[in-house]
């Protein structure tokens, strides 16, 4: 089996939770091998991350460079292309940074690329058999990846359960000298924090959350009336914000808010992983959807197959009547 | 500015329930197809840039005759030209193969800006980043606004986690993958589609483009073996009965779980 590397995402000197998930994924490819962590960054933060990773990785490759202090994928890609040996398997967390970095990196490494992998079912014969999802999670697919020239594999956050492992007693190996001067045609200027809206959906114990199934802007009031009757707030999925029917501050998901209500009512929301990523703290999830096969029913506690435009007003009037 | 937009025709997930047939494939007989959502935003963005600063918009797709309909739709939106890249030798290409076909086409023109969607509904969010790497030009993903700065530069914002945005400056020529919601795509009526119904759409094949060895089934390193229905997981308890019964049960549950204040 080729050598396995894990790209470590980190912030303020602390490795992301995904580091342990990449270890779990690596074990499914080759349990006999201890994968190597690769870390890019600069200064004391980088040193702190590398040190902490020695507890779980036997080798930690440190790539330090002033220009890598902020993770600009264009520069990180160049650094990794210079350092990661041809033919290796590189695991990367499939989040915003990984989707920016990996497709181009696979070309520069002349490696295969498979994004958003949920499971690795078998490895051998120069190939990996993996599981992905398509069409917003409505169907899964088995994918065969030829790894004879190496592979970059992006791992779905939360899909691989980290296992407790004995201390690795690893060592840091500095690879910075192999990188040289890094320049690129895309320069980071600043980060703008998410806008706060009129309603802070994080503060409500219950959310009536609407998705594309609400169909038009005029119908948003149906959800608002239910929320008012419940003492809840209305939140939503991304298409509702894309269509400008609600403010961005109401969006739940990986590119929106993270919420921890007691009760989450998903109304006309299919249940994509980017949406579910914003629901934390295991609330009681009620799913209302007209499609009995909608993926949301796999994660909800209670499901109701109904047309929400009919069901929600009835529910509102019954709650008001009590 | 000459802008190229890469667009793909996909089954429309908001119109369809995706069903599997017995052979581990998607039942395609009754699917409604449309242009990939993010690609439509990309075309709108290109049109708005050209309205502000001049230039032309070309839309390209790698596919077959049936994919012409999305090219016509995007021409009805205002794209000046559309090109179909089609050849039996392209069948079975993986993402790298599609990117290589698009790269060969780009090299035949003089595009300063190339837009893709972030991700196709049946895809993997890979073609844009691969295309940029093949062209050796800068790339940015998840773009949510574009401002033309002059001097061969753009100021862009990118979506990052938690609804935060990252502002970047990027040199032209470059490839950007456009995120949904960046603008409000204009409406295309039947009349608009009829007006472009007979505009010829040039088709280019392998020999016209000089595509490298990445295209086609034999070169594909990543292959879909089958589709399957994902395991049910813990699964929801389905509330059944008359609507009144369902509502009564739901209200009891909402009360018990702290959902009614
Ligand atoms: C990088 C990236 C980041 C993303 N970030 C987010 C994010 O932060 N948050 C987010 O939500 N998404 C995000 N997405 C989008 C995500 O992939 C899905 O496209 C989105 O969550 C789908 O929203 P939806 O469930 O409302 O729509 P759909 O998937 O279209 O589902 C609509 C559902 O409504 C049901 N329905 C339709 N009509 C009715 C009716 N009358 N009554 C009852 N049910 C009905 C349908 O059966 C269907 O299940 C992101 C995508 C990308 C690529
Ligand atoms: N066959 C194709 N023809 C033209 N553009 C494509 C094709 N496949 C993918 N793309 C572009 O690449 C983007 C990402 O697709 P994917 O990598 O398949 O998720 C899409 O949104 C399109 O802009």
ipTM value = 0.95
- CATH of span A196-321: 3.40.50.1220
Per CB-CB distance under 8 Å, the chain A contacts of B235 are 297-298
With respect to residue B237, please indicate whether it lies within any of the assigned structural domains.
no
* Mean pLDDT of the region A153-158: 96
Q: Retrieve residue B61's tokens.
A: 């797709």
| Between B116 and A194, residue with greater pLDDT | B116
The tally of domains found in chain B comes to 1
At residue A163 the predicted structure's pLDDT band, cuts being 50, 70 and 90, is: confident
Q: Is the CB of B61 under 6 A from ligand 2?
A: yes
* String of DSSP letters for B204-244: E-HHHHT--TT-STTT-SEEEEEEEPPP-TT-PEEP-S-HH
pLDDT in tens, A50-94: 999 999 999 999 999 999 999 999 999 999 999 999 999 999 999
pLDDT at position B12? 85
Bridge partners, residue B5, by sequence: B59, B115
For chain A, give every domain's residue range: 4-178, 196-321
List all residues whose CB is within 6 A of at least one atom of ligand 1: A 136, 211-213, 237-239, 251-256, 268-270, 272, 274-275, 278, 289-291, 294, 307-309; B 13-14, 118-119, 142
How many whole angstroms separate alpha carbon B43 and alpha carbon B115? 8
- Residue B60's Cβ-count burial label (10 Å; 0-12, 13-18, 19+) is buried
With respect to residue B124, please indicate whether it lies within any of the assigned structural domains.
yes
How many whole angstroms separate alpha carbon B172 and alpha carbon A196? 33
How many whole angstroms separate alpha carbon A80 and alpha carbon A6? 11
With respect to residue B236, please indicate whether it lies within any of the assigned structural domains.
no
How many whole angstroms separate alpha carbon A108 and alpha carbon B57? 29
At residue A138 the predicted structure's pLDDT band, cuts being 50, 70 and 90, is: confident
How many whole angstroms separate alpha carbon B28 and alpha carbon B10? 11
pLDDT at position B231? 76
- Check if the beta carbon of residue A89 is closer than 8 Å to that of residue A68: no
Q: Which one of B11, B233, B258 has the shortest CB-CB distance to A263?
A: B258
- Residue B159's Cβ-count burial label (10 Å; 0-12, 13-18, 19+) is buried
How many whole angstroms separate alpha carbon B32 and alpha carbon B27? 11
- Check if the beta carbon of residue A186 is closer than 8 Å to that of residue B139: yes
How many whole angstroms separate alpha carbon A223 and alpha carbon A117? 35
| Closest-approach residue (CA) in chain A for B36 | A135
Give the mean pLDDT per block of 10 residues along chain B (261 residues).
97 80 83 94 98 97 96 96 97 97 97 97 91 98 97 96 93 98 94 92 96 94 93 85 96 95 83
CA distance to A54, A61, A79, B256, per residue, from A171 (Å)? 6, 9, 20, 52
Cβ separation of B222 and A143 shorter than 8 Å?
yes
Q: Whose alpha carbon is nearest atom 7 of ligand 2?
A: B8
The distance of A62 to chain B (nearest Cα, Å) reads 24
B228 in reach of chain A (CB within 8 A): yes
How many whole angstroms separate alpha carbon A45 and alpha carbon B47? 44
Q: Are strands B203-204 and B237-238 parallel, antiparallel or unpaired?
A: unpaired
Instruction: Find the domain containing B192 and state its range.
Output: 2-209
pLDDT at position B121? 82
- Residue A75's Cβ-count burial label (10 Å; 0-12, 13-18, 19+) is buried
pLDDT in tens, A263-318: 999 999 999 999 999 999 999 999 999 999 899 999 999 999 999 999 999 999 99
- Check if the beta carbon of residue A203 is closer than 8 Å to that of residue B178: no
Cβ separation of B168 and A318 shorter than 8 Å?
no
How many whole angstroms separate alpha carbon A240 and alpha carbon A212? 6
| Closest-approach residue (CA) in chain B for A192 | B165
pLDDT at position B26? 87
pLDDT at position A319? 96
Kindly report whether the global pTM for this prediction surpasses the value 0.90: yes
With respect to residue B23, please indicate whether it lies within any of the assigned structural domains.
yes
Helices (H) and strands (E) in chain A, counts: 9, 18
Q: Which residue, among B99, B139, B169, would best test binding to A if mutated, counting the most A CBs under 10 Å from its CB?
A: B139
Residue recorded with tokens 């014969």: A125
Q: How many residue contacts between A and B have a Cβ separation below 8 Å?
A: 260
Centroid of ligand 2 to alpha carbon of A241 (angstroms): 23
- The CATH superfamily assigned to A4-178 is HUPs (3.40.50.620)
Name every residue whose Cβ is closer than 8 Å to that of residue B252 and which is 6 or more positions away in sequence: none
pLDDT at A164 exceeding the cut of 90: no
Q: State the CATH number of the domain containing residue B32.
A: 3.40.50.620
Cβ separation of A100 and B17 shorter than 8 Å?
no
Cβ separation of A146 and B222 shorter than 8 Å?
yes
Consecutive H or E run containing B132: helix B127-135
Per CB-CB distance under 8 Å, the chain A contacts of B180 are 238-239, 242
- Check if the beta carbon of residue B247 is closer than 8 Å to that of residue A315: yes
pLDDT in tens, A12-36: 999 999 999 999 999 999 999 999 9
Per CB-CB distance under 8 Å, the chain B contacts of A151 are 221
- Check if the beta carbon of residue B57 is closer than 8 Å to that of residue B138: no
């Amino acid at each position: 089996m080729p050598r396995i590397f894990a790209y470590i995402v980190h912030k303020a000197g602390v490795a992301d939770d995904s580091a342990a998930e990449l270890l779990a994924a690596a074990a499914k490819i080759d349990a006999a091998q201890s994968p190597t962590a690769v870390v890019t960054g600069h200064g004391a933060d980088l040193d702190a991350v590398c040190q902490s990773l020695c507890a779980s990785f036997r080798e930690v490759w440190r790539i330090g460079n002033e220009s890598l202090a902020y993770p600009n994928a264009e520069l990180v890609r160049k650094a990794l292309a210079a350092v990661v040996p041809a033919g290796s398997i590189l695991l990367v967390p499939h989040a915003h940074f990984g989707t920016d970095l990996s497709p181009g990196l696979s070309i520069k490494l002349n490696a295969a690329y498979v994004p958003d992998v949920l499971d690795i079912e078998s490895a051998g014969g120069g190939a990996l058999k993996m599981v992905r999802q398509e069409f917003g999670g409505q169907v899964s697919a088995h994918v065969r990846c030829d790894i004879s020239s190496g592979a970059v594999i992006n791992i779905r956050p939360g899909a691989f359960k980290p296992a407790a492992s004995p201390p690795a007693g690893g060592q840091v190996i500095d690879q910075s000298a192999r990188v040289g001067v890094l320049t690129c045609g895309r320069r980071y200027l600043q980060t703008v924090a998410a806008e706060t809206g009129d309603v802070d959906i994080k503060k409500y114990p219950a959310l009536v959350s609407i998705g594309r199934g609400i169909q038009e802007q005029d119908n948003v009031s149906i959800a608002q009336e239910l929320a008012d009757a419940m003492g809840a707030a209305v939140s939503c999925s991304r298409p509702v914000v894309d269509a400008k029917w609600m403010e961005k501050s109401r969006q739940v998901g990986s590119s929106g808010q993270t919420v921890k209500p007691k009760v989450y009512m998903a109304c006309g929301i299919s249940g994509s992983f980017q949406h579910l990523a914003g629901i934390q703290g295991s609330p009681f999830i009620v799913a209302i959807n007209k499609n009995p096969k909608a993926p949301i029913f796999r994660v909800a506690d209670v499901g109701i197959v109904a047309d929400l435009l009919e069901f929600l007003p009835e529910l509102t009037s019954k709650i008001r009547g009590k | 500015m000459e802008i190229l937009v890469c667009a793909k025709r996909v089954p429309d997930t908001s119109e369809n329930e995706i069903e599997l047939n017995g052979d581990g494939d998607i039942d395609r007989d009754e699917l409604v197809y449309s242009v990939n959502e993010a690609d439509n935003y990309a075309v709108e963005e290109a049109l708005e840039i050209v309205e502000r600063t001049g230039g032309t918009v070309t839309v390209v797709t790698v596919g077959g005759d049936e994919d012409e309909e999305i090219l016509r739709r995007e021409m009805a939106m205002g794209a000046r030209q559309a090109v179909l890249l089609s050849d039996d030798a392209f069948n079975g290409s993986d993402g790298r193969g599609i990117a290589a076909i698009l790269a060969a086409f780009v090299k035949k023109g003089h595009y300063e800006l190339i837009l893709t969607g972030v991700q196709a509904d049946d895809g993997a969010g890979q073609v844009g980043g691969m295309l940029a790497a093949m062209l050796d030009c800068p790339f940015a993903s998840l773009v949510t606004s574009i401002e033309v700065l002059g001097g061969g530069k753009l100021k862009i914002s990118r979506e990052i986690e938690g609804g935060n945005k990252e502002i970047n400056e990027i040199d032209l020529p470059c490839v950007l993958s456009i995120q949904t919601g960046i603008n409000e795509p204009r409406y295309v009526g039947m009349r608009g589609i009829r007006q472009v119904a007979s505009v010829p759409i040039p088709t280019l094949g392998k020999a016209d483009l000089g595509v490298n060895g990445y295209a086609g089934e034999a070169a594909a390193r990543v292959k879909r073996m089958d589709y399957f229905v994902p395991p049910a997981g813990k699964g929801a308890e389905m509330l059944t009965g008359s609507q009144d019964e369902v509502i009564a049960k739901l209200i009891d549950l909402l009360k018990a779980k702290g959902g009614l204040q």
